[in-house]
Structure 1
Amino acid sequence: MNKPTLLAAVITLALSGCTQFAPNYNADLIITNGEVLTIDSNMSIIENGVVVVKDDKIIAVGEAELADQYRAPKQIDAQDGIVMPGMINTHNHLPMIAFRGLGEEGISNRLFAYFFPLEGEKLSRELIYNATKLGAIDLAQSGVTTYADMYYHMDEMAKATKEVGLRAVLGQTVIKFPVVDSSAPYGGIEYAQGFIEQYKNDPLITPAYAPHAVYTVSKEKLQKINQLSKQQDVPVLIHVAEFPNEETRIKEEHQANSPVEYMDQIGILDERVVLAHGIHFSEKDIELVKKADAGVAYNPMANAKGATGMAPAWDMYRSDVRIGLGTDGPMSSNQVDLWRTLSYATTMQRLKHDDRTIMIPEQVIEMATIGGAKALHMESRIGSLEVGKQADIIIVETQSANMMPNYDPYATLVFQANPSNVDTTIVNGQIIMENRQMQTVALDDVRGTIDAMEADISAFANELAKKAIKSKSLMD
């Protein structure tokens, strides 16, 4: 054999060897050795389960043997932890994390006498972007993979959210007075239209309209937003029945006995709407919400802290209303994660109904996952670990002292776990946090800007509190 022929034979043999031993990946990520809570229609639990991800989708869920059918460049050993869908926070005002801890001096009219003036003085594009980034890190570290929000400069919120890698439904606020992103009343409508056009087909951001409430947005503007939402096929987020007697604050003539009846009468209660709070819903209100196929965000911790009441969440759940859990803004509950909200969701309803058998942990976890997805009309995409759904997954470790023993994973999550037990957060197939280490952004990236923000806000906020504490309660 001459030298050229020998060289060709050697190259051919080498290439065939490379082909023989090259990895044949048919997945991107395999999670093994976990207690998998699928949150499917049967609420199936798979002991020592496996979840397989390719691109941004879940392609297989099953028993340990399933792992033998797949190869992936990335594998995660859950180490007997709980593998479950990412949690969904259905109502927030994330940039208000910049003001978290302020106004706690016992101010009665905290919304109008403190929140709004503080925002009017200190909000800016820069603050909203930086505060959103901090809040999104907080969410990711606590296992929230999707959140719904109502605020201003939603393009800044979208940018920060995508940098961290979370999924969000972002509603541009519309209100009857000038705000940080509009010098004219109701300028949020025009702002929202541009924002919706920009993010309409984004894989992580769902743009939306967010009229503040029926008593801060006129009937004509509410109806205009409803029509626009139909044309653009986007959600509408709104505060409803958070305070008693909201219907008396509506200026237009109407025959409604509640904000929900009013929304129904003027034709804006439909399947695109997500109603935040619903504290003062009547039985008829629940029937109307159910008939309209609207979603509800239940915020028990914020409502307890604000002494605004206990929403009839158990009644809504039993009526098969689309209901999920929310924290409200970081000035309302001081949290953006859902862990304490889980136990509040249970205990508040048991107190309300004087019945310790209701709102069992399995139902609360359902509400925090697929329930939130249903409230946002996203259950075909997220909220459970099923083939074809987006790979929004968290791993909750069970080796810490507070997680032992773990007889019932649902009870462990609702009554024992806290944000620090979240080990891994995955959104749309991307690992956002692993082994408690953020993979997309670092907290140190925003620490300096948050320190400067706190220094700038502190003095004004303290002086404002002295004035606001004298204001009459909104609920009087």
Structure 2
Amino acid sequence: MRIKISLITTLLLISGCSSFASKDTLPPASLIIKNGQVITMNDNKQLIENGVVVINNDTIIAVGDHSLLSQYDAQRIIDAQNGIVMPGMINTHNHLPMIAFRGLGEEGIENRLFAYFFPLESKKLSRELIYQATRLGAIDLAQSGVTTFADMYYHVDEMAKATKEVGLRAVLGETVIKFPVVDAKQPYGGLEYGQQFINDYKNDPLITPAFAPHAAYTVSKQKLQQINAISKKLNVPVLIHVGEFGNESARISDNPKQLSPVAWLHDIGVLDNRMVLAHAIHVDQADIDLIKQSGAGVAYNPMANAKGATGIAPAWEMYQQQLPMGLGTDGPMSSNQVDLWRTLSYAANMQRLKHNDRTIMIPEQVIELATIGGARALHMEDKIGSLEVGKKADIIIVETQSANMMPNYNPYATLVYQANPSNVSTTIVNGNIVMEQRQMTQVDSADVTKNIRAIEADIAEFAKELAKKAITSPSLMK
């Protein structure tokens, strides 16, 4: 009997020591998110109830059920409290510093781009405004669950500084255009500026530098071919507006055949898999075929296009044909917002209205566009867009306790048709908590507010007088 007891005691001691040893030797994790409804957006669109996401430094190292909690030694655990845990959303087209002008030019101006936008920028843009406005815009993005945005603007080095200060990820393209602008006194000066920016940020963990030729009708054939050659050499993206307006073919120089913008870009040899085409509204099946063959991405901006009355893109056709496509808001003067929440419902409803079919663009497909679809459009699907082992830890938690989030039978439908920015409780980018329980963690929001109020006071009177002149200017788009 004594032998049996001693044996049992020995085994228990060994077992106890072993359990202590195993706890001491558990693999480390910097952060674990538990108790969430995990929307992975992986190839199988796996949805995990009571799921867990494990992060170490900037990388996701495990995604699964609650059993993962006993398998890692975490420095910190966040309880999602039955909220939706999902990949951070990706805004694939923006002009973020224009948030300083948000709400202006709403008097029914017909020629809004050339008679109002461009003169306003010419008079009021500066390095300081671009930096301060980007800080505000990046906070707006973070608070609404956007972890990555793509942008075409000026002084992108200031944008990069502000974006990193807030803690977001961005693809930033220096605008190249055929007339002088705030950061280039000579036409096409953005080409040289862009090359320097690319050199400075080529290996940055958060900033992907890019070129941003404005459009086929504002950049010459020679400059587009030059940008293409340099982007190929440096392996950087090229962001461009394409097919936003119905008369672009007639406005493109060196286009004697009156090819569509897409066909013209293909014809001159610059349509390739580094390009991201913003809008692509006025495109036909032949254009869609060329885009698919090239591997170029598409940024679908349904809310901005509806507000600007520029048309409804054939997004459903492009989705069905598996083009790399994500969602964008366009600039804050085009949709007056930078978050994607209302854009989600617009993305579905505009297509349903166009096709008179309520069965298309179901919520799961819309969330795909806002996450992994956006990553594909930006050619970054190997790094972001889904919650998978080895990808960057860009994650948001959307609470489901507020009245507008109840009931939550289908999390995809809840997100597309019920949620709003205030439901985002936590935003994580590259493994760092950028916002927690609605509080920004890396930037002084009060300082941003103070600086934006000063910019607003400086702009207000000039903007009012400009609107009086611009409203008499006929549209160039007819």
Same fold (TM over 0.5): yes
Determine helix, strand or coil for the equivalent of 2:191: helix
1:4 paired residue number: none
> In structure 2, what is the equivalent of residue 6 of structure 1?
none
Structure 1 runs of 4+ with >3 Å offset = 18-25
User: What amino acid is aligned across from residue 196 of structure 1 in structure 2?
Assistant: I
- The residue correspondences of 1:24-423 to structure 2 (distance < 5 A) are 26-423=28-425
The alignment covers a number of residue pairs equal to 459
1:32 counterpart SS class:
strand
Alpha-carbon offset, residue 72 of structure 1: 1.1
2:338 and 2:448 mapped to 1: Cα distance? Answer: 17
Letter in 1 for 2:338: V
**Offset, 1:254:** 3.3
Q: Cα distance 1:224–1:39, how it changes in 2: closer, same or farther (>3 A)?
A: same
> How many angstroms apart in 2 are the aligned matches of 1:451 and 1:77?
36
Assess if the C-alpha contact under 8 Å between 1:212 and 1:239 holds in 2: yes
Residue aligned with 2:136, SS? helix
- 2:276–2:378: 8 Å Cα contact kept in structure 1? yes
TM-score, structure 1 normalization: 0.95
CA distance in 2, matches of 1:79, 1:169: 32
Residue 19 of structure 1: how far off its partner (Å): 10
After TM superposition, give the deviation of residue 24 of structure 1 in Å: 6.1
Alignment partner, residue 436 of structure 1: 438
The TM-score, its normalising length taken from structure 2, stands at 0.95
Structure 2: runs of 5+ lacking an equivalent: 1-19
Cα deviation digits, residues 47-106 of structure 1 (max 9, x gap): 000000001000000011111101211110000000000000000000000000000000
**Match of 2:74, SS?**
coil
Indicate the SS of the match to 2:147. Answer: strand
Q: 1:253 to 1:45 in 2, by over 3 A?
A: closer
Name the CA distance, whole Å, in 2 between partners of 1:352 and 1:79. Answer: 39
Q: State the alpha-carbon separation in 1 of the partners of residues 307 and 333 from structure 2.
A: 10
- Deviation string 1:7-35 (CA, Å, 9 cap, x unpaired) is xxxxxxxxxxx999989661000000000
Measured in 1, the distance between the counterparts of 2:26 and 2:52 equals 19
| 1:104 partner SS | coil
- Letter in structure 2 aligned against 1:392: D
Identity %: 73
- 1:257 CA drift (Å): 2.6
Q: 1:351 to 1:170 in 2, by over 3 A?
A: same
8 Å Cα contact 1:254/1:262 also seen in 2? no
RMSD: 1.3
Q: Which amino acid aligns with 2:386?
A: S
Secondary structure of the corresponding residue to residue 66 of structure 1:
helix
**CA offset at residue 475 of structure 1?**
2.2
CA distance in 2, matches of 1:443, 1:463: 31
Q: Distance in 2 between matches of 1:465 and 1:239?
A: 25
Give 1:473 deviation, angstroms.
1.4
Partners of 2:416 and 2:468 lie apart in 1 by 38
What CA distance in whole angstroms lies between the structure 2 residues aligned with 1:162 and 1:189?
A: 23
SS in 1 for 2:78: strand
Give 1:445 deviation, angstroms: 1.8
Q: 1:162-186 deviations in whole A, cap 9, x for unaligned?
A: 0000000000000000000010000
Cα distance in 2 for residues equivalent to 1:19 and 1:366: 43
